[in-house]
Amino acid sequence: MKKVFTGAWQANNADLNQALTKLAKIAEIDFEIEISIDKMLKETNYRELVLSELSQLGHDELNTIIHWLNSPAASEQSPTATTSKLPLLLSAIACIAVVISVVFFFLPQQQQLETIAQQTPANTVKTVATQPAVAPQDTAIKKPEITEKTKQKLLFRLHGSNTIGEKLAPALLEGYLKQQGIIDFTWIQGDSPVERQLSYQQGNTNYFIELHAHGSSTAFADLSMDKADIGMASRRIKAKEITELQAKLGTLNSVGNEHIIGLDGLAVIVNQNNPIKQLSSATLAKVFSGEINNWSQLGGQDQAITIFSRDKHSGTWDTFKNLVLKKHNKKLASNAVRLESSSELSTRVSQNEGAIGFIGLNYVLHNKALAISAAKNTAAIFPTRFTIGTEDYALARRLYFYTPTSASNTVKSFAQYAISAQGQDIVAATGLISQNIKLEETYPRNDAPERYNYYVKNGKRLSLNFRFDYATKDLDNKGKRDLERLVSFMEQHQGRRIALLGFSDSVGAQLKNQNLSLSRAKSVELELTSRGIPVMAVEGLGEALPIANNNTEAGRKRNRRVEVWLL
């Protein structure tokens, strides 16, 4: 770095790229800190935060690079530049003199005007809503003074999943405020890249909403410590967490506390140049555990496999661990690169032809998603909006808001907005899977019962399945919400009829499972007819057409379903 840094933070700056690459390498090797070169080039806030934190590590070579990167700030002015500014200074003084003369000339006519001094204390956010233009009036227009109290008025706090917090939660918050008639708001970056706050003004009061997206496990930890009002999670709350939080927050897996705000699929991604198209769940576990470490072992090129994974606080990681690794008694390879950001993981895979990673569907971006089969007797299914919406895809997952029973009306109102039709449109707009119902044309299957193919030929399948707990006819929380969505859908499709096809897992006698699948389909029929929705046919197909592995409870639950067809 003999050359002086020009100050141009651009991707085509060779000297800058060399310095950033060296900076990132030292940070990763010596301190296990992952740095995004792309974000260093594009995001000023991220860059300043990284340089500030690294400068405090006391590493001589890092400090040399940081000093070089900051050097333009110390050498912006040359003697020539200083001399050239003298005429401008004299001109500025002359202009100030003219302004003062004008002010003293008009002052007697403007005695009614008030000067409002707004002092913004340190560590607070100043947000002034845009005011509409108005005609001049005789009396002065006074802006409300923004005091420390009004600037610090907290509305509520969302903590948890990065998958939700990075794109979806901000979009839902903005949509919710717009629904309330608030159109002027400002996002303020926090101390961490995954911390932000949304500030806005309503009347004479400034409010802010806090958004922290450090991972799903932090949702429940922060709820328990009164640091959050809404927990964001890309996995369902665990039984242990329900028990620990019940006395203080209520039963968080109840329908009034657990809000399924959308669906997502864990897409297993590889570089676009990788020829592999599909993997089984068992093979996937061997790859991510390091047991399979070269693409040639899977029919690909002779190239080492580089594994990218989300960090340990991530709900994305927790879901993958339970659906893939734990299912096959494997652990993540010790050399896997762990990342906090979904966007960063996607970028790293797109830049490495030997890479593989797992990510939410809306982060596939410049990569290729693989088809995944849950078991030997199930077909490999690609992650699409429909296969994730029906939860047929092996790595489909639900996204959650969790609210305490004692939550404020505002918190409950926002959670309700998120699961409403309007909120679900926002879910779709951010690249995730909306729960608003859609129709899909399907095709006959050779391995399907004749009755199933009859409905394939004469109807269209809806993008939802009703699911049940083991050995019961009780709908889960999503099913209870989906009933209302189906009622609204049928109100817009009057004259059409519904067929309900029930399926079971393979535990127990075949005849018993067929009767149980029929019983569950009839329980959905009862719910619909009591709401005025006509049902044309109800079928129980038992263990036919499994979409998941019946050797695991998670797989059996996905197989216990009722499909909905429109005729």
The answer as to whether 354 is a domain residue is: yes
Pair (309, 271) in one structural domain: yes
pLDDT at 338 over 90: yes
Please, which pLDDT band fits residue 32 given cuts at 50, 70 and 90? low
Instruction: Report the side by side order of strands in the sheet with 498-503.
Output: 439-440, 460-467, 561-566, 498-503, 535-540
pLDDT at 11 over 80: no
Name the residue with higher pLDDT: 10 or 89. Answer: 10
Of the residues 25, 52, 70, which one is the last residue of a structural domain?
70
Nearest to 506 by CA among 473, 467, 551: 551
CATH code, domain with 534: 3.30.1330.60
DSSP conformation class of 337: E
Q: How far apart are CA 16 and CA 10, in angstroms?
A: 8
pLDDT (tens digit, 9 = 90+) per residue, 97-112?
444 444 444 444 444 4
pLDDT at 33 over 90: no
The answer as to whether 426 is a domain residue is: no
Percent of the chain with pLDDT over 70: 83
The answer as to whether 431 is a domain residue is: no
Q: How far apart are CA 562 and CA 346, in angstroms?
A: 35
Residues 6+ apart with CB under 8 A from 177: 183, 185, 198, 200
Pair (223, 282) in one structural domain: no
Of the residues 257, 291, 306, which one is the last residue of a structural domain?
257
Pair (250, 317) in one structural domain: no
Q: How far apart are CA 404 and CA 246, in angstroms?
A: 9
pLDDT at 42 over 90: no
The answer as to whether 5 is a domain residue is: no
How many domains, the chain? 4
The answer as to whether 421 is a domain residue is: no
pLDDT of residue 151: 58
pLDDT (tens digit, 9 = 90+) per residue, 357-373?
999 888 999 999 999 99
Nearest to 382 by CA among 534, 266, 552: 266
DSSP string, 71-125: HHHHSS--HHHHHHTHHHHHHHHHHHHHHHHHHHHHGGGGTT---------TT--
Mean pLDDT of the chain: 84
Pair (252, 289) in one structural domain: no
pLDDT (tens digit, 9 = 90+) per residue, 119-144?
333 343 333 333 333 333 333 333 33
Mean pLDDT is lowest, of 107-111, 254-258, 481-485, for 107-111
Pair (194, 280) in one structural domain: no
Of the residues 236, 257, 278, which one is the last residue of a structural domain?
257
Pair (311, 351) in one structural domain: yes
The answer as to whether 420 is a domain residue is: no
Pair (178, 243) in one structural domain: yes
Report the 10 Å Cβ neighbour count for 72: 14
Structure tokens at 313: 């606080």
Structure tokens at 214: 């450090």
Pair (35, 56) in one structural domain: yes
pLDDT (tens digit, 9 = 90+) per residue, 70-83?
876 433 333 333 33
Q: How far is CA 53 from the centre of its chain?
A: 26
Pair (360, 301) in one structural domain: yes
> 230, exposed or middle or buried, with CB in 10 Å at 0-12, 13-18, 19+?
buried
Provide the residue range defining the domain that includes 35: 14-70
pLDDT (tens digit, 9 = 90+) per residue, 446-458?
889 999 999 999 9
Pair (188, 286) in one structural domain: no
> 182, exposed or middle or buried, with CB in 10 Å at 0-12, 13-18, 19+?
middle
Pair (382, 444) in one structural domain: no
If DSSP codes are grouped into helix, strand and coil, which group holds residue 159?
Answer: strand
Helices (H), 430-504: 450-458, 477-491
Pair (271, 332) in one structural domain: yes
pLDDT at 552 over 90: no
The answer as to whether 214 is a domain residue is: yes
The answer as to whether 160 is a domain residue is: yes
CATH code, domain with 285: 3.40.190.10
Please, which pLDDT band fits residue 469 given cuts at 50, 70 and 90? low
